[in-house]
Chains A and B, each alone.
Chain A
Amino acid sequence: MSGTYLLNDAIISPLGFGTGANLQAIRNSESALKFHNNSRFFKEGYYAGLIEEDLIDSGFQRLGDAFLYTKLEKMIILAVDRVIKGSDAFDPQTTGLVISTTKGNIDLLARNKFTPDRLYLWKMAQVIADFFNLEKRPVVVSNACISGALAIRTASYLIAAGRYKNVIVAAGDLASEFVLSGFNSFQAISDEPCRPFSKDRKGVSLGEAAAAVFLDSENIGEGGDKIQYLDAVTANDANHISGPSRTGEGLFQSISRLMKANNVEAGNMDFLSAHGTATNYNDEMEAIAFNRGGLSQVPVNSFKGYYGHTLGSSALIETILTKHSLLDNELFASHNFTESGVSRDLNIIRSHTRKELNMALKTASGFGGCNLAMLLKKERRS
Protein backbone atom coordinates (compact mmCIF):
# COMPACT_ATOMS: atom_id res chain seq x y z
CA MET A 1 0.00 0.00 0.00
CA SER A 2 1.52 3.30 -1.03
CA GLY A 3 1.63 5.90 1.69
CA THR A 4 1.18 9.61 1.50
CA TYR A 5 3.50 12.15 3.09
CA LEU A 6 2.28 14.76 5.54
CA LEU A 7 4.36 17.78 4.50
CA ASN A 8 3.85 21.45 5.45
CA ASP A 9 1.23 22.09 8.10
CA ALA A 10 -0.37 24.94 10.02
CA ILE A 11 -2.62 25.32 13.05
CA ILE A 12 -4.61 28.50 13.70
CA SER A 13 -5.87 28.36 17.28
CA PRO A 14 -6.13 30.43 20.46
CA LEU A 15 -2.70 29.00 21.34
CA GLY A 16 -1.13 30.70 18.34
CA PHE A 17 -1.01 31.13 14.58
CA GLY A 18 1.22 28.52 12.99
CA THR A 19 2.26 25.03 14.10
CA GLY A 20 5.46 26.28 15.74
CA ALA A 21 3.60 28.68 18.03
CA ASN A 22 1.15 25.92 18.95
CA LEU A 23 3.92 23.42 19.75
CA GLN A 24 5.68 26.01 21.88
CA ALA A 25 2.46 26.71 23.82
CA ILE A 26 1.98 22.99 24.42
CA ARG A 27 5.57 22.66 25.62
CA ASN A 28 4.80 25.50 28.04
CA SER A 29 1.66 23.62 29.19
CA GLU A 30 -0.60 26.47 28.10
CA SER A 31 -4.28 25.90 27.44
CA ALA A 32 -6.70 27.69 25.10
CA LEU A 33 -9.52 27.05 27.58
CA LYS A 34 -10.49 30.28 29.29
CA PHE A 35 -13.51 31.43 31.26
CA HIS A 36 -16.12 33.31 29.24
CA ASN A 37 -19.28 34.99 30.40
CA ASN A 38 -20.86 36.23 27.17
CA SER A 39 -23.53 33.62 26.44
CA ARG A 40 -27.18 33.62 27.35
CA PHE A 41 -26.99 29.81 27.45
CA PHE A 42 -24.53 29.80 30.37
CA LYS A 43 -25.74 31.94 33.27
CA GLU A 44 -22.66 30.98 35.31
CA GLY A 45 -20.25 31.35 32.39
CA TYR A 46 -18.32 28.56 30.68
CA TYR A 47 -14.84 27.50 29.61
CA ALA A 48 -13.98 27.37 25.91
CA GLY A 49 -11.09 27.96 23.54
CA LEU A 50 -12.17 31.01 21.53
CA ILE A 51 -10.28 33.23 19.06
CA GLU A 52 -11.06 36.95 19.01
CA GLU A 53 -12.14 37.97 15.50
CA ASP A 54 -9.97 41.11 15.80
CA LEU A 55 -6.93 38.90 16.16
CA ILE A 56 -7.91 36.95 13.06
CA ASP A 57 -8.53 40.16 11.13
CA SER A 58 -5.15 41.62 11.98
CA GLY A 59 -3.54 38.40 10.74
CA PHE A 60 -5.77 38.45 7.65
CA GLN A 61 -5.04 42.06 6.66
CA ARG A 62 -2.01 41.23 4.56
CA LEU A 63 -4.00 38.55 2.66
CA GLY A 64 -7.23 40.29 1.76
CA ASP A 65 -10.31 42.27 2.74
CA ALA A 66 -11.50 40.97 6.10
CA PHE A 67 -15.06 42.20 5.45
CA LEU A 68 -15.56 39.82 2.55
CA TYR A 69 -15.03 36.63 4.53
CA THR A 70 -16.63 34.97 7.52
CA LYS A 71 -14.66 34.35 10.71
CA LEU A 72 -14.28 30.65 9.91
CA GLU A 73 -13.29 31.26 6.27
CA LYS A 74 -10.57 33.65 7.43
CA MET A 75 -9.26 31.10 9.94
CA ILE A 76 -9.08 28.37 7.29
CA ILE A 77 -7.58 30.74 4.71
CA LEU A 78 -4.87 31.72 7.22
CA ALA A 79 -4.04 28.04 7.72
CA VAL A 80 -4.04 27.19 4.00
CA ASP A 81 -1.95 30.26 3.16
CA ARG A 82 0.79 29.16 5.55
CA VAL A 83 0.79 25.66 4.07
CA ILE A 84 0.96 26.87 0.46
CA LYS A 85 3.76 29.35 1.13
CA GLY A 86 6.28 26.64 1.87
CA SER A 87 5.07 24.07 -0.67
CA ASP A 88 6.97 24.16 -3.98
CA ALA A 89 4.76 21.38 -5.35
CA PHE A 90 1.62 23.49 -4.94
CA ASP A 91 0.01 24.15 -8.31
CA PRO A 92 -3.40 25.86 -8.45
CA GLN A 93 -4.23 23.82 -11.56
CA THR A 94 -3.58 20.35 -10.14
CA THR A 95 -3.57 20.59 -6.33
CA GLY A 96 -6.79 19.41 -4.68
CA LEU A 97 -8.51 20.83 -1.63
CA VAL A 98 -10.32 18.60 0.88
CA ILE A 99 -12.07 20.44 3.71
CA SER A 100 -13.23 18.96 6.98
CA THR A 101 -15.98 20.74 8.88
CA THR A 102 -19.03 19.73 10.86
CA LYS A 103 -20.94 23.01 10.97
CA GLY A 104 -19.09 25.46 8.69
CA ASN A 105 -20.51 29.00 8.85
CA ILE A 106 -23.37 27.94 11.15
CA ASP A 107 -23.02 31.19 13.13
CA LEU A 108 -24.59 32.91 10.08
CA LEU A 109 -27.95 31.32 10.97
CA ALA A 110 -28.21 33.88 13.78
CA ARG A 111 -26.82 36.90 11.92
CA ASN A 112 -25.89 36.86 8.25
CA LYS A 113 -24.35 39.85 6.47
CA PHE A 114 -23.26 37.54 3.63
CA THR A 115 -25.35 35.78 0.96
CA PRO A 116 -27.61 32.96 2.29
CA ASP A 117 -25.73 30.28 0.33
CA ARG A 118 -22.69 30.86 2.56
CA LEU A 119 -24.38 28.49 5.01
CA TYR A 120 -23.79 25.61 2.60
CA LEU A 121 -20.59 23.75 3.44
CA TRP A 122 -19.72 23.38 -0.26
CA LYS A 123 -20.07 27.16 -0.71
CA MET A 124 -17.72 27.89 2.17
CA ALA A 125 -15.23 25.45 0.63
CA GLN A 126 -15.62 27.09 -2.79
CA VAL A 127 -14.95 30.54 -1.29
CA ILE A 128 -11.69 29.21 0.12
CA ALA A 129 -10.75 27.47 -3.15
CA ASP A 130 -11.48 30.68 -5.09
CA PHE A 131 -9.35 32.71 -2.70
CA PHE A 132 -6.34 30.64 -3.77
CA ASN A 133 -7.47 30.40 -7.45
CA LEU A 134 -7.70 26.62 -7.27
CA GLU A 135 -9.08 25.09 -10.46
CA LYS A 136 -10.26 21.79 -8.96
CA ARG A 137 -13.54 21.81 -7.13
CA PRO A 138 -13.06 21.34 -3.39
CA VAL A 139 -14.37 18.27 -1.57
CA VAL A 140 -16.05 18.57 1.84
CA VAL A 141 -15.98 15.76 4.40
CA SER A 142 -18.64 16.20 7.09
CA ASN A 143 -18.65 13.10 9.24
CA ALA A 144 -18.93 14.46 12.80
CA CYS A 145 -15.81 14.45 14.94
CA ILE A 146 -13.79 11.98 12.85
CA SER A 147 -13.95 14.35 9.85
CA GLY A 148 -10.46 15.83 10.27
CA ALA A 149 -8.75 12.45 9.98
CA LEU A 150 -11.22 11.13 7.42
CA ALA A 151 -10.32 14.12 5.23
CA ILE A 152 -6.69 12.93 5.22
CA ARG A 153 -7.78 9.48 4.13
CA THR A 154 -10.02 10.98 1.47
CA ALA A 155 -7.12 13.03 0.13
CA SER A 156 -4.89 9.98 0.08
CA TYR A 157 -7.55 7.96 -1.82
CA LEU A 158 -8.10 10.73 -4.35
CA ILE A 159 -4.34 10.92 -4.96
CA ALA A 160 -4.28 7.10 -5.38
CA ALA A 161 -7.20 7.34 -7.84
CA GLY A 162 -5.19 9.83 -9.91
CA ARG A 163 -7.61 12.69 -9.34
CA TYR A 164 -4.99 14.96 -7.81
CA LYS A 165 -1.20 14.97 -7.71
CA ASN A 166 -1.23 16.46 -4.23
CA VAL A 167 -3.84 17.84 -1.86
CA ILE A 168 -4.27 20.50 0.77
CA VAL A 169 -6.34 19.06 3.60
CA ALA A 170 -7.88 21.83 5.69
CA ALA A 171 -10.29 21.86 8.61
CA GLY A 172 -12.23 24.39 10.60
CA ASP A 173 -15.09 24.72 13.05
CA LEU A 174 -16.32 27.42 15.42
CA ALA A 175 -17.35 27.16 19.07
CA SER A 176 -20.57 28.92 18.04
CA GLU A 177 -23.65 29.52 20.19
CA PHE A 178 -25.21 26.78 18.05
CA VAL A 179 -22.83 24.03 19.20
CA LEU A 180 -22.32 25.45 22.71
CA SER A 181 -26.07 25.43 23.37
CA GLY A 182 -26.42 22.01 21.72
CA PHE A 183 -23.76 20.30 23.82
CA ASN A 184 -25.18 22.09 26.83
CA SER A 185 -28.65 20.70 26.03
CA PHE A 186 -27.06 17.24 26.41
CA GLN A 187 -25.61 18.41 29.75
CA ALA A 188 -22.26 17.42 28.28
CA ILE A 189 -20.30 20.61 29.02
CA SER A 190 -17.87 20.73 31.93
CA ASP A 191 -18.05 23.71 34.30
CA GLU A 192 -14.25 23.74 34.42
CA PRO A 193 -11.58 23.08 31.76
CA CYS A 194 -12.01 19.50 30.55
CA ARG A 195 -9.99 16.69 32.15
CA PRO A 196 -9.79 13.78 29.68
CA PHE A 197 -9.57 10.28 31.25
CA SER A 198 -9.49 11.73 34.79
CA LYS A 199 -11.55 10.60 37.75
CA ASP A 200 -12.82 14.15 38.27
CA ARG A 201 -13.77 14.78 34.63
CA LYS A 202 -17.07 16.56 34.18
CA GLY A 203 -17.57 16.67 30.42
CA VAL A 204 -16.31 18.45 27.32
CA SER A 205 -14.96 21.92 26.78
CA LEU A 206 -15.43 23.25 23.25
CA GLY A 207 -12.85 25.08 21.23
CA GLU A 208 -12.44 26.65 17.81
CA ALA A 209 -9.53 26.29 15.46
CA ALA A 210 -8.49 25.74 11.87
CA ALA A 211 -5.67 23.66 10.48
CA ALA A 212 -4.19 22.57 7.16
CA VAL A 213 -1.61 20.10 5.88
CA PHE A 214 -0.08 19.48 2.46
CA LEU A 215 -0.27 15.86 1.30
CA ASP A 216 1.89 14.47 -1.48
CA SER A 217 2.61 10.97 -2.71
CA GLU A 218 6.23 11.96 -3.17
CA ASN A 219 8.69 12.72 -0.45
CA ILE A 220 9.57 16.21 -1.54
CA GLY A 221 11.08 19.22 0.12
CA GLU A 222 14.15 19.52 2.25
CA GLY A 223 16.01 16.59 3.73
CA GLY A 224 15.44 15.07 7.12
CA ASP A 225 12.86 12.63 8.41
CA LYS A 226 9.34 12.68 6.96
CA ILE A 227 6.05 11.39 8.33
CA GLN A 228 3.98 9.07 6.22
CA TYR A 229 0.27 8.56 6.52
CA LEU A 230 0.02 4.79 6.05
CA ASP A 231 -3.66 3.95 6.25
CA ALA A 232 -6.91 4.54 8.11
CA VAL A 233 -10.03 2.48 8.81
CA THR A 234 -13.48 3.60 9.97
CA ALA A 235 -16.09 1.45 11.72
CA ASN A 236 -19.54 2.28 13.02
CA ASP A 237 -20.73 1.23 16.50
CA ALA A 238 -24.23 0.36 15.19
CA ASN A 239 -25.37 1.10 18.71
CA HIS A 240 -26.67 4.62 19.29
CA ILE A 241 -26.72 7.88 17.30
CA SER A 242 -25.49 10.11 20.13
CA GLY A 243 -23.96 7.79 22.73
CA PRO A 244 -20.78 5.73 22.34
CA SER A 245 -20.88 1.94 22.47
CA ARG A 246 -20.42 0.48 25.99
CA THR A 247 -18.06 -2.16 24.57
CA GLY A 248 -16.09 0.20 22.32
CA GLU A 249 -17.05 -2.06 19.40
CA GLY A 250 -16.60 0.34 16.49
CA LEU A 251 -13.36 1.83 17.81
CA PHE A 252 -11.97 -1.63 18.59
CA GLN A 253 -12.89 -2.90 15.13
CA SER A 254 -11.34 0.08 13.38
CA ILE A 255 -8.10 -0.42 15.34
CA SER A 256 -7.91 -4.19 14.84
CA ARG A 257 -8.75 -4.03 11.12
CA LEU A 258 -6.17 -1.31 10.61
CA MET A 259 -3.45 -3.29 12.36
CA LYS A 260 -4.29 -6.47 10.47
CA ALA A 261 -4.36 -4.73 7.09
CA ASN A 262 -0.96 -3.18 7.73
CA ASN A 263 0.63 -6.16 9.40
CA VAL A 264 1.47 -4.30 12.60
CA GLU A 265 0.77 -5.05 16.25
CA ALA A 266 -0.02 -3.02 19.35
CA GLY A 267 3.62 -3.52 20.40
CA ASN A 268 4.76 -1.53 17.33
CA MET A 269 2.94 1.59 18.53
CA ASP A 270 5.17 4.19 20.21
CA PHE A 271 2.37 6.67 20.81
CA LEU A 272 -1.43 6.74 20.80
CA SER A 273 -3.25 10.04 20.21
CA ALA A 274 -6.71 9.39 21.64
CA HIS A 275 -9.93 11.30 21.07
CA GLY A 276 -10.46 11.85 24.84
CA THR A 277 -13.32 14.35 25.02
CA ALA A 278 -13.64 14.02 28.83
CA THR A 279 -17.27 12.93 28.86
CA ASN A 280 -17.85 9.98 31.17
CA TYR A 281 -19.06 7.61 28.48
CA ASN A 282 -16.64 8.53 25.72
CA ASP A 283 -13.44 8.17 27.74
CA GLU A 284 -14.64 4.91 29.28
CA MET A 285 -15.53 3.58 25.82
CA GLU A 286 -12.06 4.45 24.52
CA ALA A 287 -10.35 2.81 27.50
CA ILE A 288 -12.30 -0.42 26.84
CA ALA A 289 -11.53 -0.36 23.11
CA PHE A 290 -7.80 0.34 23.71
CA ASN A 291 -7.67 -2.45 26.27
CA ARG A 292 -9.33 -4.86 23.84
CA GLY A 293 -6.79 -3.78 21.22
CA GLY A 294 -3.85 -4.58 23.52
CA LEU A 295 -2.84 -0.91 23.75
CA SER A 296 -2.82 -0.52 27.57
CA GLN A 297 0.95 -0.01 27.71
CA VAL A 298 1.24 2.45 24.82
CA PRO A 299 1.87 6.06 25.93
CA VAL A 300 -1.40 7.88 25.28
CA ASN A 301 -2.72 11.43 25.55
CA SER A 302 -5.70 13.55 24.67
CA PHE A 303 -4.97 17.03 23.30
CA LYS A 304 -8.44 18.27 24.34
CA GLY A 305 -7.06 19.79 27.57
CA TYR A 306 -5.02 22.20 25.41
CA TYR A 307 -7.66 23.14 22.81
CA GLY A 308 -11.01 21.86 23.97
CA HIS A 309 -12.97 19.84 21.44
CA THR A 310 -12.58 21.61 18.10
CA LEU A 311 -15.07 19.25 16.33
CA GLY A 312 -14.22 18.96 12.62
CA SER A 313 -10.74 20.37 13.25
CA SER A 314 -9.80 18.20 16.21
CA ALA A 315 -8.63 15.05 14.42
CA LEU A 316 -6.64 17.07 11.88
CA ILE A 317 -4.95 19.19 14.56
CA GLU A 318 -4.18 16.08 16.61
CA THR A 319 -2.75 14.35 13.53
CA ILE A 320 -0.50 17.34 12.90
CA LEU A 321 0.63 17.33 16.54
CA THR A 322 1.22 13.56 16.36
CA LYS A 323 3.32 14.12 13.26
CA HIS A 324 5.52 16.56 15.18
CA SER A 325 5.70 14.24 18.19
CA LEU A 326 7.16 11.59 15.87
CA LEU A 327 9.54 14.00 14.13
CA ASP A 328 10.82 15.57 17.35
CA ASN A 329 10.75 12.38 19.49
CA GLU A 330 8.58 14.18 21.98
CA LEU A 331 5.61 12.85 23.94
CA PHE A 332 3.24 15.57 25.13
CA ALA A 333 1.49 15.35 28.49
CA SER A 334 -2.26 14.79 28.58
CA HIS A 335 -3.13 18.26 29.87
CA ASN A 336 -5.35 18.55 33.01
CA PHE A 337 -5.03 14.82 33.80
CA THR A 338 -5.25 14.12 37.54
CA GLU A 339 -5.75 10.41 38.26
CA SER A 340 -7.30 7.67 36.17
CA GLY A 341 -11.08 7.66 35.99
CA VAL A 342 -11.60 4.84 33.51
CA SER A 343 -12.09 1.15 34.29
CA ARG A 344 -9.14 -0.12 32.20
CA ASP A 345 -5.43 0.58 32.54
CA LEU A 346 -4.05 3.23 30.23
CA ASN A 347 -0.50 4.57 30.05
CA ILE A 348 -1.47 8.26 30.21
CA ILE A 349 1.44 10.63 29.52
CA ARG A 350 1.76 12.73 32.69
CA SER A 351 4.60 15.03 31.70
CA HIS A 352 6.39 15.96 28.48
CA THR A 353 8.90 13.21 27.74
CA ARG A 354 11.63 12.75 25.16
CA LYS A 355 11.63 9.32 23.58
CA GLU A 356 12.64 7.71 20.29
CA LEU A 357 9.38 7.42 18.29
CA ASN A 358 8.67 5.67 15.00
CA MET A 359 5.01 4.76 14.67
CA ALA A 360 1.83 6.26 16.08
CA LEU A 361 -1.84 5.43 16.15
CA LYS A 362 -4.42 8.24 15.97
CA THR A 363 -8.04 7.54 16.84
CA ALA A 364 -11.25 9.55 16.79
CA SER A 365 -14.92 8.90 17.49
CA GLY A 366 -18.07 10.90 16.95
CA PHE A 367 -21.84 11.24 16.87
CA GLY A 368 -23.57 8.84 14.55
CA GLY A 369 -21.47 6.07 16.12
CA CYS A 370 -18.49 6.71 13.85
CA ASN A 371 -14.92 5.72 14.76
CA LEU A 372 -11.61 6.00 12.96
CA ALA A 373 -8.10 4.65 13.48
CA MET A 374 -5.09 5.95 11.53
CA LEU A 375 -1.43 4.92 11.29
CA LEU A 376 1.46 7.37 10.95
CA LYS A 377 5.05 6.27 10.46
CA LYS A 378 8.40 8.01 10.43
CA GLU A 379 10.55 7.59 7.35
CA ARG A 380 14.17 8.33 8.02
CA ARG A 381 16.34 10.16 5.54
CA SER A 382 19.99 10.64 6.20
Chain B
Amino acid sequence: MKQLFIRNSVLIRNSKVLKNGQLLMQEPEDLQLSKFLKNIYKERKLKYPKFFKMDRLSKLGYLGAEILTNGQIEDENTALFFANSASSLQTDEAYAESMEEFPSPSLFVYTLPNILLGEISIRHRLNSENIFFVFQDFDAGLFVDYVSTLFSQGKTENALCGWVNLHNNDYDVFLWEIALSGGIDFNEEELKKLYLPTHE
Protein backbone atom coordinates (compact mmCIF):
# COMPACT_ATOMS: atom_id res chain seq x y z
CA MET B 1 0.00 0.00 0.00
CA LYS B 2 1.19 3.50 -0.83
CA GLN B 3 1.66 5.95 2.03
CA LEU B 4 -1.12 8.53 1.82
CA PHE B 5 -1.58 11.86 3.56
CA ILE B 6 -4.49 13.93 4.81
CA ARG B 7 -4.12 17.51 3.62
CA ASN B 8 -6.91 19.86 4.66
CA SER B 9 -9.97 19.09 6.69
CA VAL B 10 -13.24 20.88 7.42
CA LEU B 11 -15.82 20.41 10.16
CA ILE B 12 -19.32 21.91 10.08
CA ARG B 13 -20.93 21.12 13.41
CA ASN B 14 -22.91 22.87 16.20
CA SER B 15 -23.30 26.10 14.18
CA LYS B 16 -19.53 26.29 13.73
CA VAL B 17 -17.23 25.99 10.72
CA LEU B 18 -13.66 24.87 11.29
CA LYS B 19 -10.86 24.37 8.77
CA ASN B 20 -7.71 22.52 9.85
CA GLY B 21 -8.82 23.01 13.44
CA GLN B 22 -9.15 26.79 13.07
CA LEU B 23 -12.53 28.36 13.77
CA LEU B 24 -13.77 30.14 10.63
CA MET B 25 -17.34 30.89 11.65
CA GLN B 26 -19.47 30.64 14.73
CA GLU B 27 -23.20 31.32 14.79
CA PRO B 28 -25.71 31.03 17.66
CA GLU B 29 -26.25 27.35 18.55
CA ASP B 30 -30.03 27.61 18.14
CA LEU B 31 -29.80 29.11 14.64
CA GLN B 32 -32.02 27.32 12.12
CA LEU B 33 -30.11 25.13 9.70
CA SER B 34 -31.51 26.88 6.61
CA LYS B 35 -30.31 30.23 7.99
CA PHE B 36 -26.91 28.82 8.97
CA LEU B 37 -26.41 27.43 5.44
CA LYS B 38 -27.30 30.77 3.89
CA ASN B 39 -24.94 32.58 6.27
CA ILE B 40 -22.04 30.32 5.31
CA TYR B 41 -22.80 30.95 1.63
CA LYS B 42 -22.78 34.71 2.22
CA GLU B 43 -19.76 34.73 4.51
CA ARG B 44 -17.72 32.79 1.92
CA LYS B 45 -18.90 35.22 -0.81
CA LEU B 46 -19.99 32.33 -3.01
CA LYS B 47 -21.75 32.95 -6.32
CA TYR B 48 -23.38 29.73 -7.45
CA PRO B 49 -27.13 30.06 -8.13
CA LYS B 50 -27.53 26.25 -8.27
CA PHE B 51 -26.96 26.33 -4.49
CA PHE B 52 -30.49 27.60 -3.96
CA LYS B 53 -32.02 24.63 -5.79
CA MET B 54 -30.17 22.02 -3.75
CA ASP B 55 -31.62 20.09 -0.84
CA ARG B 56 -29.94 20.63 2.53
CA LEU B 57 -27.78 17.50 2.31
CA SER B 58 -26.30 18.70 -0.99
CA LYS B 59 -25.92 22.24 0.38
CA LEU B 60 -23.89 20.89 3.31
CA GLY B 61 -21.68 18.87 0.95
CA TYR B 62 -21.27 21.71 -1.52
CA LEU B 63 -20.36 24.26 1.18
CA GLY B 64 -17.95 21.84 2.85
CA ALA B 65 -16.18 21.23 -0.47
CA GLU B 66 -15.95 24.97 -1.23
CA ILE B 67 -14.37 25.69 2.14
CA LEU B 68 -12.06 22.67 1.97
CA THR B 69 -10.69 23.46 -1.50
CA ASN B 70 -11.09 27.26 -1.53
CA GLY B 71 -13.31 26.69 -4.54
CA GLN B 72 -10.62 25.05 -6.62
CA ILE B 73 -9.88 21.39 -7.26
CA GLU B 74 -6.68 21.21 -9.30
CA ASP B 75 -6.70 17.53 -10.23
CA GLU B 76 -9.75 16.75 -12.39
CA ASN B 77 -9.34 13.06 -11.51
CA THR B 78 -9.89 13.71 -7.81
CA ALA B 79 -12.03 10.82 -6.55
CA LEU B 80 -15.10 11.55 -4.44
CA PHE B 81 -15.68 9.21 -1.54
CA PHE B 82 -18.59 10.09 0.76
CA ALA B 83 -20.71 8.42 3.41
CA ASN B 84 -23.33 9.13 6.02
CA SER B 85 -25.78 7.43 8.33
CA ALA B 86 -29.23 8.73 7.32
CA SER B 87 -28.82 8.53 3.53
CA SER B 88 -31.28 11.08 2.03
CA LEU B 89 -33.96 10.39 4.65
CA GLN B 90 -34.72 14.05 5.40
CA THR B 91 -35.56 14.71 1.74
CA ASP B 92 -37.29 11.30 1.47
CA GLU B 93 -39.69 12.44 4.19
CA ALA B 94 -40.30 15.76 2.43
CA TYR B 95 -40.98 13.96 -0.85
CA ALA B 96 -43.31 11.47 0.88
CA GLU B 97 -45.26 14.42 2.20
CA SER B 98 -45.56 15.85 -1.32
CA MET B 99 -46.99 12.47 -2.44
CA GLU B 100 -50.12 13.28 -0.46
CA GLU B 101 -50.80 16.28 -2.67
CA PHE B 102 -48.73 16.20 -5.82
CA PRO B 103 -45.47 14.21 -6.01
CA SER B 104 -42.67 16.73 -6.50
CA PRO B 105 -40.07 15.83 -9.14
CA SER B 106 -37.69 18.48 -7.78
CA LEU B 107 -37.75 16.77 -4.37
CA PHE B 108 -37.68 13.24 -5.79
CA VAL B 109 -34.39 13.86 -7.57
CA TYR B 110 -32.73 14.51 -4.20
CA THR B 111 -33.95 11.25 -2.67
CA LEU B 112 -30.56 9.63 -3.33
CA PRO B 113 -27.50 10.48 -1.21
CA ASN B 114 -25.08 10.36 -4.15
CA ILE B 115 -26.81 13.36 -5.73
CA LEU B 116 -24.44 15.42 -3.62
CA LEU B 117 -21.52 13.79 -5.48
CA GLY B 118 -23.22 14.85 -8.71
CA GLU B 119 -23.51 18.41 -7.43
CA ILE B 120 -19.82 18.56 -6.47
CA SER B 121 -18.84 16.95 -9.81
CA ILE B 122 -20.87 19.51 -11.75
CA ARG B 123 -19.50 22.42 -9.71
CA HIS B 124 -15.86 21.37 -10.18
CA ARG B 125 -16.23 19.66 -13.59
CA LEU B 126 -15.01 16.30 -12.32
CA ASN B 127 -15.47 13.17 -14.48
CA SER B 128 -13.93 11.20 -11.64
CA GLU B 129 -14.56 8.18 -9.40
CA ASN B 130 -17.64 8.36 -7.12
CA ILE B 131 -18.91 6.24 -4.28
CA PHE B 132 -21.44 6.79 -1.50
CA PHE B 133 -21.58 4.50 1.55
CA VAL B 134 -24.01 4.32 4.46
CA PHE B 135 -22.79 3.32 7.95
CA GLN B 136 -24.38 3.52 11.37
CA ASP B 137 -21.69 5.98 12.42
CA PHE B 138 -18.40 7.37 11.15
CA ASP B 139 -16.26 4.36 10.18
CA ALA B 140 -12.65 5.52 9.81
CA GLY B 141 -11.36 2.01 9.09
CA LEU B 142 -13.59 1.54 6.08
CA PHE B 143 -12.58 4.88 4.62
CA VAL B 144 -8.92 3.89 5.02
CA ASP B 145 -9.36 0.42 3.48
CA TYR B 146 -11.42 1.54 0.48
CA VAL B 147 -9.48 4.70 -0.36
CA SER B 148 -6.09 3.03 0.07
CA THR B 149 -7.08 0.31 -2.39
CA LEU B 150 -8.36 2.92 -4.86
CA PHE B 151 -4.94 4.60 -4.74
CA SER B 152 -2.89 1.39 -4.79
CA GLN B 153 -4.81 0.17 -7.85
CA GLY B 154 -3.84 3.36 -9.63
CA LYS B 155 -7.39 4.66 -9.97
CA THR B 156 -6.60 8.10 -8.57
CA GLU B 157 -3.87 10.33 -7.10
CA ASN B 158 -6.17 12.60 -5.11
CA ALA B 159 -9.37 12.09 -3.18
CA LEU B 160 -11.95 14.30 -1.57
CA CYS B 161 -13.67 12.43 1.22
CA GLY B 162 -16.61 13.34 3.35
CA TRP B 163 -19.01 12.36 6.08
CA VAL B 164 -22.13 14.46 5.44
CA ASN B 165 -24.99 13.42 7.66
CA LEU B 166 -28.38 15.06 8.04
CA HIS B 167 -31.65 14.01 9.62
CA ASN B 168 -34.33 16.06 11.40
CA ASN B 169 -32.05 19.05 10.69
CA ASP B 170 -29.31 17.54 12.89
CA TYR B 171 -26.19 17.73 10.78
CA ASP B 172 -22.61 16.57 11.00
CA VAL B 173 -20.12 17.41 8.26
CA PHE B 174 -16.47 16.35 8.06
CA LEU B 175 -14.54 16.65 4.81
CA TRP B 176 -10.88 16.04 4.09
CA GLU B 177 -8.44 15.72 1.19
CA ILE B 178 -6.11 12.80 0.60
CA ALA B 179 -2.98 13.03 -1.51
CA LEU B 180 0.32 11.26 -2.13
CA SER B 181 2.32 13.85 -0.19
CA GLY B 182 2.12 16.48 2.55
CA GLY B 183 0.04 16.79 5.69
CA ILE B 184 -0.84 14.16 8.27
CA ASP B 185 -0.47 10.40 7.80
CA PHE B 186 -3.71 8.89 6.49
CA ASN B 187 -4.63 6.16 8.95
CA GLU B 188 -7.54 5.20 11.14
CA GLU B 189 -6.19 6.84 14.28
CA GLU B 190 -5.39 10.22 12.72
CA LEU B 191 -8.71 10.27 10.90
CA LYS B 192 -10.61 9.62 14.13
CA LYS B 193 -8.68 12.42 15.85
CA LEU B 194 -9.63 14.89 13.13
CA TYR B 195 -13.26 13.77 13.19
CA LEU B 196 -13.58 14.04 16.97
CA PRO B 197 -11.01 16.56 18.27
CA THR B 198 -10.51 16.00 22.01
CA HIS B 199 -10.59 19.72 22.85
CA GLU B 200 -14.12 20.02 21.54
Partner-B contacts on A (CB < 8 A): 1, 41, 102-104, 106, 109-110, 119-123, 125-126, 137, 139-144, 150, 154, 157-158, 160-163, 177-178, 181-186, 231, 233-242, 249-250, 253, 261, 366-370
Contacts and interface: CB of A to CB of B under 8 A. Distances in A.
B178 interface: no
A182 B105 contact: yes
Contacts of A182: 95, 103, 105, 108, 111
Contacts of B134: 120-122, 125, 140-142
Nearest to B109: A242
Interface in B68-126: 80, 85-87, 89, 92-93, 95-96, 99, 103-105, 108-109, 111-119, 121-122, 124-126
A41 B95 CA distance: 14
Given A185-B105, A369-B118, A237 B146 contact: no
A141 B131 contact: yes
Given A182-B95, A238-B127, A369-B121, A233 B133 contact: no
B129 A233 contact: yes
A314 to B, nearest CB: 14
Nearest to B145: A161
Interface stretch (B7-15, B41-49, B148-156): B148-156
Contacts of A142: 87, 112-114, 132-134
Contact of A235 (B89, B119, B125, B127): B127
Contact of A139 (B108, B112, B133): B133
Interface in B145-196: 145-146, 148-150, 152-155
Contacts of B93: 109
Nearest to A231: B153
A138 to B, nearest CB: 9
A1 B103 CA distance: 47
A368 B133 contact: no
A240 B50 CA distance: 11
B128 interface: yes
B129 A368 contact: no
Contacts of B108: 181-183, 185-186
Contacts of B113: 142
Given A102-B112, A109-B93, A142-B87, A238 B99 contact: no
A239 B133 contact: no
Given A109-B92, A182-B103, A367-B115, A143 B131 contact: yes
A125 B114 CA distance: 18
B95 to A, nearest CB: 7
Given A109-B93, A120-B86, A143-B114, A250 B155 contact: no
B-side interface size class: 35 or more
Contact of B118 (A162, A185, A370): A370
Q: Which of B113, B148, B150, B152 has the largest number of chain A CB atoms within 10 A?
A: B113
B146 to A, nearest CB: 6
Given A236-B127, A238-B127, 8 more contacts: A41-B103, A103-B111, A126-B136, A140-B135, A142-B134, A161-B148, A185-B108, A237-B127
* Nearest 6 interchain pairs by C-beta: A368-B118, A182-B108, A161-B145, A236-B121, A157-B149, A140-B134
B3 to A, nearest CB: 15
A57 to B, nearest CB: 26
Contacts, number: 164
Contact of A261 (B124, B126, B148, B154): B154
B154 A367 contact: no
Nearest to B132: A143
Given A140-B134, A238-B127, A367 B109 contact: yes
25 contacts: A41-B103, A103-B92, A109-B96, A110-B96, A122-B85, A140-B133, A141-B131, A142-B87, A142-B134, A143-B132, A144-B112, A154-B133, A154-B146, A157-B150, A158-B145, A158-B146, A178-B95, A182-B103, A231-B153, A233-B155, A237-B118, A237-B127, A367-B112, A368-B115, A370-B117
A120 B87 contact: yes
A240 B114 contact: no
B145 A241 contact: no
B72 to A, nearest CB: 15
B142 interface: yes
Contacts of B148: 161
Given A143-B114, A261-B154, A236 B130 contact: yes
B115 A121 contact: no
A241 B122 contact: yes
B131 A241 contact: no
Given A141-B133, A369-B118, A369-B121, A238 B105 contact: no
Contact of B128 (A184, A235, A242): A235
A253 B129 CA distance: 10
A114 to B, nearest CB: 15
Contacts of B122: 238-241, 369
Contacts of A125: 134
B131 A154 contact: yes
